Amino acid sequence: MGDINLIEKCKREAAKLAVKENIRNNMKIGIGSGSTIVFAVRELAKIVKGNNWDVICIPSSYQAEQLIIENGLTLGTLNQNPELDIDLDGADEIDEKLNLIKGGGGCLVQEKILASYSKKLIIIADFRKKSKYLGEKWKKGVPIEIFPGACIPIMKEIEKFNGVPNLRMAVAKMGPVVTDNSNFIIDADFSIIKDPKDLNKKLLSISGIVDTGLFINMTSIAYIGQEDGSVQKLEKS
């Protein structure tokens, strides 16, 4: 239980600092998905309400949408707000160049879209997520969202790039996980990924892949909560 409390504290401290240093009035903010973002949205709501700021939040998933609503923040869409000031999100793994693996929660396509249309992608994580190379600590594989009707041929193509693909199965229902976009997710294990840019390019060349959980050269700043209560801040060089 102590470990769980420590991780929660790390996430909370990283989220507090990230929001404090990056949020301003009249911003349009992308809201990612996952457990860490819960802390960020709570902190965001405190600051926005305390200062009576006008901030619009654009969600990356149904979970993010509910978080925005539950915390009394203004909900918007990307079509209404095509250029975002910042995007707050978490990560499954962060390498030394701030490349990411994302998509453990199944929202990688929407998350990448928000990140792409934001001036800054701000990543919030705990110390377990940092590694030298992608694949060192995150052992579940690279999440890849795919068109359901081409599942088998896509998996065969992934194997040609030395990946071990597994169709992600649902827990509380029979059959595969279905994303918010009505697609399937393949988790492909490539072991240690020393050139994520090249791998991402190869995967996107496969017809039927919607997008990958490899976020290459997109992160502006990463806030990483440490075991001692401090927050490590990593910026794109």
Distance CA 107, CA 110 (A): 6
111 part of the active site: yes
Q: Which long-range contacts (CB under 8 A, 24 or more apart) does 207-211 make?
A: 207/150, 208/146, 208/147, 208/149, 208/150, 208/153, 208/154, 209/144, 209/145, 209/146, 209/147, 209/154, 210/109, 210/145, 210/146, 210/147, 210/181, 210/183, 211/108, 211/109, 211/112, 211/144, 211/145
User: One of 13, 93, 111, 145 is an active-site residue; which one?
Assistant: 111
Q: In this structure, are residues 53 and 28 in contact, taking their beta carbons and an 8 Å threshold?
A: no
Distance CA 207, CA 78 (A): 26
Q: In this structure, are residues 234 and 98 in contact, taking their beta carbons and an 8 Å threshold?
A: yes
Is the CA virtual torsion 161, 164, 167, 170 positive or negative? negative
The amino acid at residue 22 is: N
Backbone angles phi, psi at 9, to 5 degrees: -65, -45
Find the length of the chain: 237
The amino acid at residue 62 is: Y
Beta bridge partners, 28, equal: 56
The residues annotated as belonging to the active site are: 111
